[in-house]
Structure formats: C-alpha cells, structure tokens
Structure 1
Amino acid sequence: VEEALALAKVSASDIKVICYTKGPGMGGPLTVGCVVARVLSQLWRVPLVGVNHCVGHIEMGRIATQCPNPVVLYVSGGNSQVIAYSEQRYRIFGETIDIAVGNCLDRVARLLELSNDPAPGYNIEQLAKKGSVLLDLPYVVKGMDMSFSGLLSYVEALLQHPRFKGGPPKGTPAAERREKKRQNLTAPIQQDFGPADVCFSIQETIFAMLIEVTERAMAHCGINDVLIVGGVGCNERLQAMMRDMVRERNGRCFDMDERYCIDNGAMIAWAGMLQFSAGEFTPLRHATVTQRFRTDDVHVKWRS
C-alpha cells in the first residue's frame, strides 16, 4: 500500500473512497482484497464501494477507448459473455453454458505442455502462427450461447491420434498412457498435424463462435460498435477476426492492449468511482464478497 501511494505521489489523506472487487472470482483472492479494503476503510475513515469485476472491465474499456455504447465481448479465464447496455443494466445476450474461453485455452496449453510464462493463452497464440492444418473441431453455438467443454474433450482425444506429431518421447510414462488412449478415435484425419496446427485450429474455431454470437447481438441491438475486454481480448487474431466482421457491418471495433485488457486495479477503481459518484457505497457490515455475482445483477445508476 505504501509503495502504491508513493508511486501515485499521493498520501492517505488524499484518498476519498476505497474500491474493491466484490466478485465474481475465486474465493481466496476476493477475500484477501476485501479484508485489506475493510481495514483501510476503517483506518482512513473513508467509505467502501464493492465493484463487480465484469463491470470493471466494461467501464475501463469504455473510458480507455472512448467508445460510449458498444456491444461488449467479455472473454477471460473465468467468463465468456456478450453484453449490451439497456435500462441501467448490462444485459447478457449470450454466454458460455459450461467453461470459459480462457479456461479452455489454458487447459489445451497444459495438454500440449506449453509454458505458463508469460501466459498459456499467449503461448497458444504465438504457436498458432506456425500452424497451417485446419482441423475439423466441434463448433457449438446454441442460440446465443456457446459451449467449450466438448471441444476441450475432443482436443484431448485428438492428441492421441496416430497422425499427431509432437507427443511425448517413446518409452516415457506419458507415451505409454497415450498409447492406451488411442482406442476408439473417430477423427478421420488424412494428414499429419502437430501442436502448432492444434493451436491454430482451436483459435479459429473458438473465435468464430465468439464472433457469430457477437454479430447476432449487434443485429438484435442495432449497435455497430464492438468492444473486446478481458484477458483473451489481448489475442491479436481474435481482434483481427472481429475487425473483419465489424467492417462488413460498417461498424467499429475497439480493443485494448494487455495493460487494461487483463485484470487490473485501475478498472476496479474507475468503476467504483462511477458508482460512488452516483451516490452508491457499501456499508461495512455489507462489505463481503461473492464468487457468483452476475454482470446483469448490477444497477448501473451512473448511465442514463
């Protein structure tokens, strides 16, 4: 805290409100943040504002890109939603019915034994640039919603295919497990493929699903501007595919770099300030966290 104050060149007396992430997210990190916020609120005698993590992404995107009223594609490790504003709510027009996009990509990276440095999704993106074989993967869009768990299971089985080049060395325990899983493979693949082709194919398939649902939301809402937020939104291939679609609709695509696309404290501070300016604050007795806090649960009083 002292380091942050020094970096911002402010003192505790300059702080007028403490904003913290109320949810959604993992319980441990949320609780730590909430406890620190509660302590600072009492220590500095300033009010608290609990912020929805998803709304934080949206408001940071709006202020950073100066896009006033877009259809929002929010894609991260824990969330995948297509959102638009209506009547003081961020309405969810489509979302994943099982796992999030980022979760799916991270688990594929783990199956391919890619590094976590700097991030699994980033390493998939870089390896995909070397791929040339487009594999036929499950494409599951149900109305306005998407499913990724079946795709993940299919890719896991695909890595046991005899045509896959890039598995563990022969004689290792991992190779022996792979041999045992080669039964009942149904993918009729006629050419060899490797990890780069898997990364290329999964990006093309998943991103096409996301863009289809986003385009439907644009048509439904009559909005031609799209804003991409969340950690997966840093992916340059996703941004390029979205720009192609939006260009055909004579619209605009707004995206950000990793500074504001991934989770950051500035987005919580900014969204909290908007809430506070609209007269909202969180009494200490209600300053808790929840792992389930939907985007459309928030009353967006600061927008008319």
Structure 2
Amino acid sequence: MVTIIGFEGSANKIGVGIIRDGQVLANPRHTYVTPPGQGFMPSETAKHHKEHILSLTKQALEEAKITWQEIDAIAYTKGPGMGAPLLTVAIVARTLAQLWQKPIIGVNHCIGHIEMGRLITSAENPTVLYVSGGNTQVISYENKRYRIFGETIDIAVGNCLDRFARVLKLSNDPSPGFNIEQMAKNGSKYLELPYCVKGMDVSFSGLLSFIEQRGPKLVEQKKYTPEDLCYSLQETVFAMLVEITERAMSHCNSREVLIVGGVGCNLRLQEMMRKMCEERNAILFATDDRFCIDNGAMIAQAGYEMFKVGMVTPWEKTTITQRFRTDQVEINWRK
C-alpha cells in the first residue's frame, strides 16, 4: 500500500488530501472568501493559507484514521498559481518532509486535476477540457505528455465569470462563478456578445469588456435583467469551449471528454458538452465540486502516480514555478 498526503494552495483554496492506492481517505479544504465586488490578493490569500494549513493537516490525518508514520511521501503544488500562496504551501510541505523524513514530490496543478478526474470517472483516454479561474486548456495525452491543443490567449474562463460577478456585486460565497450559474437559470433574453474562437484558441477579454461596459447600462434601461446578462455570458463562453473541444476530439479521433477544473462543475457547461458528445457517439465524464474545485486529494493522486514510477523531486528543486505548463511534465506513469 502506498499512502500520499497532498497539499494544494495555488489560489484561494487551501486543501490537504490523503490518497491510498486510488482511494480518497480524506480531503478537507478551506476557501478564502472576500467581500462582494472584490477579488483575492496574493498576500492576503497567503495569510489565509497560513492560518488554516496546519489545522487542515491534522483534520486530514484524523479523517483518514492514520498517523504521519504511515505516509510514504508528501506531494505539494509546485505551480502554476499565485506566488505567495504557492510559497506558503511549499514551505509547509518542505518542513514536514524534513520533520517526518519523507520524500517530497512537486506536482503540476493542472495534471493534478486531470489525474483526479481520471481516477474518479475511470475515463480511459479522454480529450480533457480544463477550465478554472486561472486556466483554460483543451488537452490530449500523446507520447508521454499531456499535449495542449488549444487554450485561452488572454484570460481564463473562470476569471471572466468572476470578474463579471464583481460588476454585478455578486457574493463570493461559495464562489462568484456558482452564483452566476444560479442567476443564469432565471435568464431568458439573450444578448449577442463577441464570439472569439481563433483556430483552436479562445479569447475572453474582448467579450468581458463588452458586457462590463454595456451590461449595466442595459440593466438601467430595463432592456435586460442581470439574470439575462449572466445567461448570455454563460451561453457564449461555453459554446466557444464546446467548439474547440469538439475540434480536438475530431483531430484525435476521441470518444471521451473529461471536464476538470473549478468551472467544470457548472451543470450548464456539462449539459452543452453532453449534447455535443451524444451527437458524436462519445461519452462525457465530469465530477462534482468535491473533486472539480481545487483540493488536496488531486495533488496527492498525481503524487501517487509519480511516486509509483520513482518521480520524486530532488530537494534543490522543491521550489515553486508560477508559470508551469501542463505539457512540461513527462507522464511516465501512463502507457
């Protein structure tokens, strides 16, 4: 039996997860929630992580009903992400590795999402749509790498949704994207927005500027409701994502789609993707917010796969990398 503890803290969520041979033993996390209309700053987010990481570690060990002596290795998020929060988590992981005399594994955050999705859904070789607050990528595995077929050329889809939520002064609890999703359910009048797909890539910044500038005026004039704007934004950005995912599927002759990342638990996105998959005789795989949203177990699972093939991080390389590409990691654990 191999038991890995994983630490995740690349953005506003701090999580500690424990995986034993593909079984999630514990996965507590805590979210830094800011007042409506505000984002989260790196220094304040890091402070939040410092306050909660040790209690979450204790909670994870208690939930898993194990002691630290039973842990085989420590995995932590090396990147990508926000510098100060990443560093906070890395320091704790390095300290525990020395105190407990355990090997340490630096994990790519994006690959953590993919491996968690594969574990939970049992998808074999899917085309992956990775959508979160900081990343938007269409990925497929080929020859020991997760290859990026398409991505955002400016801001991530989650960041686009979050920033519009700030314009509407929506609550950040549990997340701005979730609250946009709920409002969109009551919208019906579609506002045509800029639709920007460039080959396999997408662009959201122009669309966001358009709805930020015109949206509040249209609400004032009573031509559209805030719910209509949320509905229009979701329909447009999700249609763009479905289009590039379908193109990647066609290129790879794929019959599976796996959605991962925080935006991946949006039920409307899943519904649109499922319809496309049905038309192509393909299967959609997705998870709920326990595993879609940033969590420690996904880092533990990627660390578990790496540990099994001897991919332990040398001590001098247990640093952080804010810009850490998905396709930079050699995937030695997949055939």
TM-score in same-fold range (> 0.5): yes
2:214 aligned partner: 158
2:291 is matched by which residue type in structure 1? Answer: Y
Deviation of the 1:160 alpha carbon:
4.2
Identity, % of aligned positions:
62
Alignment map for 1:26-175 (pairs within 5 Å):
26-161=82-217, 163-165=218-220
Residues 163-242 of structure 1: pairs in structure 2 closer than 5 A: 163-165=218-220, 192-242=223-273
> 1:164 offset after TM fit, Å?
2.0
C-alpha RMSD over aligned residues: 1.0
Cα offset, 1:12, TM superposition: 1.4
Rounded Cα–Cα distance in structure 1 between residues aligned with 2:285 and 2:130? 12
Distance 1:120 1:223 in 2: 33
Higher strand content, 1 or 2: 2
Separation of aligned partners in 1, 2:129 and 2:291: 15
| Partners of 2:216 and 2:184 in 1: CA distance | 19
Which whole-Å CA distance do the structure 1 matches of 2:333 and 2:99 have between them? Answer: 28
Per the TM alignment, residue 159 of structure 1 is displaced from its structure 2 partner at its CA by 2.2
Report what 1:252 is aligned to. 283
Task: Give 3-state SS (helix, strand or coil) of 2:306's partner.
Answer: helix
Q: TM-score, normalised by structure 2?
A: 0.82
Shift of 1:157: 1.2
Amino acid in the other structure paired with 1:101? V
> Structure 1 regions of 5+ residues with no counterpart?
167-190
When normalised by structure 1's length, the TM-score is 0.90
Q: 2:13 matched to which residue of 1?
A: none
- In 2, Cα distance between equivalents of 1:125 and 1:226: 22
Aligned length, in residue pairs: 279
Matches within 5 A, 1:248-287: 248-287=279-318
The one-letter amino acid paired with 1:107 is R
- 2:219 is paired with a residue of what secondary structure? coil
Task: Flag as ranges the 4+ runs of structure 1 deviating above 4 A.
Answer: none
Which whole-Å CA distance do the structure 1 matches of 2:106 and 2:272 have between them? 35
Residue 30 of structure 1 aligns to a residue whose secondary structure is helix
Bigger radius of gyration among the two: 1
The alpha carbon displacement at 1:55 in A equals 0.2
Q: CA deviation at 1:4?
A: 2.1
Conserved? CA contact 1:165–1:195, under 8 Å = no
Q: Unaligned 5+ residue runs, structure 2?
A: 1-56
